[in-house]
Amino acid sequence: MLTPPGVAGSRSLEDGAAGDPASSGAAPRRVIQGRSPWLLAFERFRRDRFALVALGVIVLIVCAAIFAPLIAAGTGHGVNTQYSTAGLTATGLPRPPSAVFPLGTDDLGRTLLVRVAYGARVSLMVGVLATLLTVTIGAALGLVAGYFGRAVDTLIARAVDVMLSIPFLLFAIALASVVSVTPLHLGPLTLGQGVPIVVLVIGIFSWATVARVVRGQVIAIRNREYIEAARAMGASSWRIIVVDVLPNVLPTIIVYATLLIPVSIVAEAALSYLGVGVPPPTADWGAMIAEAQSYYQQAWWFLAFPSIALLLTTLAFNVVGDGVRDAIDPRATGFRP
Amino acid sequence: MITFLVRRLALGLLVMWLVTVIVFIIFYIGPGPADVARALAGRDAPPATVALIARRLLLDRPWYVQYGHFLWGLVHGNLGYDYFHDQPVTSIVAQGIPITLSLIVGAAPLWLFLGVMSGVNSAQRPRSFRDRFFTTLALFFYSTPTFVLGVLLILFLYYQLTIHGIALFPGSGFTPLTQSPLEWFRGLVLPWLTLALVTAATYTRLTRSSMLDVLGEDYVRTARAKGLSERRVVYRHALRAALTPIMTQFGIDVGTLVGGTVITEQVFGLPGLGWTAVHAIQEQDLPVIIGIVIVASAAVVVCNIVVDALYALVDPRVRLH
C-alpha cells in the first residue's frame, strides 16, 4: 500500500482494521481493503492527465539540470567559455542557432544551450529550498500561534500583518543589494550575493501567508475531543502539536508548498533580472533575459530560449500544483497562496 | 463603527512603526555607517572628509540617536535628503508617484474587467470548452513572469509592428499626461497590458470559484424561476454577491502595486517609484530606498484599512471582531 511514511502511523487505527491480506498469498475471497486519504489522493492525481504531462515536463527539466555537465560535454563547450570569434559575428553580435551552437550564442559568445541547461539548476534549487524555508517558518509559527493562542498568537498575528504590508520586491532587492555590498554574518555563516541569500530573502518575505492559513486550521481543530483526550493523558503541548495537530494540517501545507515552488522560481528570476540575484557569470534565466533585452532586435534566440525555459518551468509546476490541490482536496477550486 | 475604525487605524500605525524599525535594522546593520561615509567621500578622500560626512549625516552617533532623528523627520513629513544630489527624498518620491499611479489607474480597470468577465463566463458553464479555454488562459498568464510578458509585448507589439511600418506604441519612456494626453496613453498601453494580463489571471480564478458558489444558492434559483433573463440573473443577482472577495483582493492588489510595479517600470523604462528604487539601490542611496519602502508600505496599510472599513460598512458582523 502506498502511504507516505509518517502519516501511516496516525491512520493505522482506522485503516488497519480492514487488515492487510494482500500479502497472505492466494486468497480467493474478495477482501475490502482500507484506503488511506493519501492513497485516494494519489489515485485521483494519477487520473489527472494534464498534471501527469506537466510532471513529465518537470522530470525533463530536472534531468536537464542534473545532466547539465553532460550537455556541456556533448557540445564540447563549457558554461562560461566565451567563443569570441566562432561565437560572435564580425560586428560582435550573438550567432543564431547552428549545428555548432544548437540554440545560438549569447552576447559574450557563450553557448546558449549549455547556459539554459545550467540555468535550470539555479531555478530549481532556489525554487525548492526557498519553498522549504517558507513552509517551515510559516508552518512552525502558524502551529504555535494557533495552538497556544493568547499573547503568542497576538504577537505572531501582528508579525504576519507587518510582513504582508511590506512591499516584497522592494524589500527583497534592497536587502539583497545591501548584502551584496556588505556580506551578512550569521555565526559561522557568511552570506554574500548568491543562491543562499536569495533563498533567505524569499523565505523571510513569504512565510506570512502560510502562517496565516495554518493558524486558521489549527484554531479550527485545537478544541476537538481527540486533542483534549491527548491532553488528559498528560501529553505535552509539543507532543500534541507534532503528533496530533501537524498531520491534520499537513495536506494544506503540501498543497501550499507545491504552489509556492513556481512563485519562488519567479521571485528568484525577478531578482536576477533586476541584477540583485545570483551574480554573473553564473548561468541564470532571469539574468539572461535581462542581458538579452538589449539584443532582442538582433538576436531573438538569446531572448526566446531562456524565456521559454522559465515559462515552461513555472507553467509545469503550477499545473502540477493545481493537480495536487484537486487530488488532496477535490472540493477546493481556485484557491491560491 | 467608530471604535472599529479607531482600532483599525491604531493597528495600521503599529504596523507602520514596525516597518520603520525593520527598514532601519536592515540598513543599519547592512552597509554600516562607516561604509556609507567612506563610499560617499570617494576612494581617495582623507579620513577628515569621511569623518565630516559621517558627522553631518549623524552616522557617527549611536543607532538610537539616528533612529530618533529619522523617526522625528518622518513624523514631520521629512524623509531626509538623498546622498548624492542633496535633494529632499519627498520630492524624489513625488516625481515617481504620478508615473506609478498612471500605471495602476490604467491597468486596474483593465484587469478587473478581463478577470471578472472571464471568470463569470467560466462559471456559467463549468467544464465546457469556454470554461477550459479561460481557465487555461488564466493559468498561462498566472505562470508568466511579468518581465517575460513585458519583453514579449515589446518584441511583438512594438518592434515587429514598428519595423513593419505600424508604429502604434513607443518601446519605452513616459510622457506626462499634462504634456500630451495622447502620448501619455500610447506610452502606457503596453505596460498596462503587461500588468493587467498578469494580474487578471488571479481574478479569473477568484471570480470563477466565487461565482460557482453563488450560482448554487437558492435565491439564484428563485430569480431564475421568476423568469428573469439569464443575463440579469448572472450579472444583477449572482455577481453582486460574488464580488465581495474580489473587492478585497482588488484593494490589497492596488495597495501592493504602489511598490510592486518595479518590474513593469524597469522593463518599459518608466521612471516611477519602483524604477527610482532600483536605481537608488544600484547607487546605495539609502535615504531614497528607505523613503520609497515607507511610502509603498503606507499605501498597503491605507488600502487595507479602506477595504476593512468598506467591509464593515457592508457587513455589520465584521465590526465585532
- Say whether both B274 and B135 belong to one domain: yes
Q: Does a cis peptide bond (omega within 30 degrees of 0) precede residue A281?
A: yes
Q: What range does the domain containing B262 cover?
A: 90-314
pLDDT value of residue B29: 60
Is residue A23 assigned to a domain? Answer: no
Contacts of residue A281, defined as CB under 8 A and 6 or more positions apart, other chains included, come to A79, A80
Q: Is B37 on the interface with A (CB under 8 A)?
A: no
Q: What is the CATH classification number for the domain harbouring A72? A: 1.10.3720.10
- The answer to whether residue A32 sits within a structural domain is no
B94 and B56 together in one domain: no
Taking the Cβ of residue B10 and every Cβ of chain A, the question of whether any pair is shorter than 8 Å is answered with: no
Residues 106-165 of A with CB under 8 A from B: 158, 161-162, 164-165
**What is the pLDDT at residue B68?**
81
Query: In DSSP terms, which residues pair with B88 in a beta bridge?
Result: B81
DSSP per-residue letters across A27-69: --S--PPP--HHHHHHHHHHT-HHHHHHHHHHHHHHHHHHTHH
Cβ-Cβ contacts under 8 Å, B266 against chain A: 273-274
Confidence tier at B25 by pLDDT (50, 70, 90): confident
Whether B122 and B260 map to the same domain: the answer is yes
- pLDDT by residue, tens only, chain A of 337 residues: 344 444 433 443 344 444 444 444 555 677 787 778 888 888 888 888 888 898 999 999 999 889 888 887 877 777 777 777 776 777 777 777 777 777 777 777 787 888 888 999 999 999 999 999 999 999 999 999 999 988 999 899 888 888 887 778 888 887 777 776 666 666 566 666 778 888 988 898 889 989 988 998 898 888 888 988 998 998 888 999 998 899 888 988 988 898 899 999 999 999 888 888 888 788 889 889 888 888 887 788 888 889 999 999 999 999 998 888 888 876 554 444 4
Does residue B311 have a pLDDT over 90?
A: no
Nearest CA-CA distance, residue A24 and chain B, Å: 44
pLDDT at A184: 65
CB A255 within 8 Å of CB A324: yes
Same domain (yes/no): B172, B207: yes
Last residue of a domain, one of B78, B112, B145: B78
- Give the pLDDT confidence of B257-284 residue by residue, as tens digits: 887 888 999 888 889 899 998 888 877 7
Residue A25 lies inside a defined structural domain of this protein: no
Is there a single domain that holds both residue B17 and residue B142? no
Establish if B320 belongs to a structural domain.
no
For a pLDDT cut of 70, what percent of chain B falls above it?
A: 89
Q: Write the pLDDT tens digit of every residue in B142-155.
A: 889 998 999 888 88
Give the three cell numbers for residue B16. Answer: 507602520
User: How far is the alpha carbon of A309 from chain B, nearest alpha carbon, in Å?
Assistant: 11
The answer to whether the CB atoms of B293 and A170 lie below 8 A apart is yes
Quote the pLDDT of residue A317: 93
- A181, B267: Cβ pair inside 8 Å? no
Domain assignment present for B84: no
Residue A5 lies in a domain: no
Q: How many domains does chain A have?
A: 1
**Which residues in chain B touch residue A262, judged by CB atoms under 8 angstroms apart?**
143
In a shared domain, residues B248 and B293: yes
**Residue A187 located in a structural domain:** yes
Contacts of A297 in chain B (CB under 8 A): 159
In a domain, B319, yes or no: no
DSSP-derived 3-state class of residue A105: strand
Same domain for B207 and B249? yes
Is B59 part of a structural domain of the chain? yes
Whether residues B284 and A177 touch (CB distance < 8 A) is answered with: yes
| B94 & B130 share domain | yes
Q: How does residue B39 score in pLDDT terms, banded at 50, 70 and 90? A: low
| Each residue's pLDDT tens digit, B196-232 | 999 999 899 889 988 888 888 888 888 888 888 888 8
DSSP state letters, A172-224: HHHHHHHHHHS-EEETTEEE-SSHHHHHHHHHHHHHHHHHHHHHHHHHHHTTS
**Domain of A227?**
37-332
Closest to B8 measured CA to CA, from A142, A165, A208: A165
- Checking if the pLDDT of B127 tops 60, the result is yes
Q: How many domains in chain B?
A: 2
pTM for the full model? 0.83
Residue B85 domain-assigned?
Answer: no
Nearest by CB to B209, which of A182, A296, A333? Answer: A333
Same domain for B263 and B131? yes
Instruction: Say whether A315 and B300 touch across the interface (CB within 8 A).
Output: no
In a domain, B274, yes or no: yes
Last residue of a domain, one of B31, B49, B78: B78
CATH, residue B101: 1.10.3720.10
Same domain for B137 and B165, yes or no, is yes
For residue B259, CA distances in Å to A172, B132, B202 come to 12, 33, 19
HSE of A143 in the Cβ direction (CA atoms, 13 Å)?
22
Q: Is residue A138 part of a domain?
A: yes
Q: Is residue A319 part of a domain?
A: yes
Kindly state whether residues B19 and B48 are assigned to the same domain.
yes
Query: Helices A246-273 and A112-148, interaxial angle, to 10°?
Result: 140
Q: Is A336 on the interface with B (CB under 8 A)?
A: yes
Final residue in a domain of this structure, among B78, B103, B135 = B78
- The confidence score (pLDDT) of residue B41 equals 64
Section B45-59 average pLDDT: 70
> Does residue B118 share a domain with residue B198?
yes
Distance CA(B228)–CA(B82), nearest Å, equals 62
Q: Which residue among B15, B31, B209 places its CB closest to the CB of A162?
A: B15
Q: Can you give the pLDDT at residue A7?
A: 42
Q: Does B157 touch chain A (CB under 8 A)?
A: no
Q: Which three cell numbers stand for residue A108?
A: 559574450
